[in-house]
Amino acid sequence: MKFVLFEKLSELEGKELIMFLLAAAVAACILVLLFVFKKHKAENAPALPKKVDTRALVYGALCLSLSYVLSFIKLFSMPMGGSLTLCSLLPIAMYAWAFGPKAGFTAAFAYSLLQVIQGAWVVHPVQFVLDYFVAFTAFGLASLFPRCLPLGVGAAGLARYLCSVISGVVFFADGAAEAGYESALLYSLLYNGGTIGLETVLSVAVAFVPGVVTVAKMMNRKRAA
């Protein structure tokens, strides 16, 4: 286990550096725009549907950018791949929780594409789909728990954890033997628990902070109500 807080940021170059700077710039611009126009209100009821759609698009771009930026901030990395990031799960899960399944799963799928661009570890086509498209799109599951943000965040993180555990058992069993484990399942549970599991616990803990819930409700007041 290697602690690499912010080390990844100092090593960025080429495509990764451009993607990181672009995501950070998008997040910063949207935050400024939201601050400037936060007191703006609709003048008439017919305009509401359009404004709701605009709100969803704006917050979707913001949460995607924030999750992508946070995915570069790694607290530590494991020797065989995988790392603990700084709650990169949380912004996408909050968005899904605020705007519902359709918007939530769409944003989560878009985030899975960003993760592939960031760098994919592929040993088999099924493993590739499971570890990236299925695992990260599962963040949209937070939308199914509109009454409890921490529960939604926990469900999203647990789904990704289970995807990685299954992938570890089926496609990375050799790593268990090399590490001295007779059970590939136990090895995968412990290995992924040290990264995805810990990040899920950390994200759920942050989701319990009252200010975080307030921000999530502000994204889409109609959904939260």
Residue 74 host element (H or E): strand 74-77
Give how far Cα 59 sits from Cα of 81, 90, 170, Å.
Answer: 31, 13, 37
Q: Which residue has the higher pLDDT, 117 or 16?
A: 117
Percentage of the chain modeled with pLDDT above 70: 72
Give residue 23's pLDDT band: very low, low, confident or very high (50, 70, 90): low
Q: pLDDT for 53-72, tens place per residue? A: 788 888 999 999 999 999 88
Spans of all domains in the chain: 2-224
Instruction: Please state, as a whole number, how many other Cβ atoms lie within 10 Å of the Cβ of residue 167.
Output: 23
Give residue 122's pLDDT band: very low, low, confident or very high (50, 70, 90): confident
Q: pLDDT for 167-190, tens place per residue? A: 988 888 887 877 778 888 999 999
Place of tokens 């509109």: 146
Cα–Cα distance measured from residue 173 to residue 153, given in angstroms and rounded to the nearest whole number: 29
What is the rounded average pLDDT for all residues in the chain?
Answer: 80
- Please report, to the nearest 10 degrees, the dihedral formed by the alpha carbons of residues 11, 1, 176, 114 taken in order: -30
2-224 folds as: Arp2/3 complex 21 kDa subunit ARPC3 (1.10.1760)
pLDDT at 118 over 90: no
* Cβ atoms 108, 136 nearer than 8 A: yes
Stretch 113-117: mean pLDDT: 88
Give residue 45's pLDDT band: very low, low, confident or very high (50, 70, 90): very low
Helix or strand or coil: residue 83? Answer: strand
Stretch 86-111: mean pLDDT: 94
| Residue among 151, 147, 172 at smallest CA distance from 223 | 147
Give residue 26's pLDDT band: very low, low, confident or very high (50, 70, 90): low
Stretch 132-149: mean pLDDT: 93
Give the pLDDT confidence score for residue 48 in this predicted structure. Answer: 43
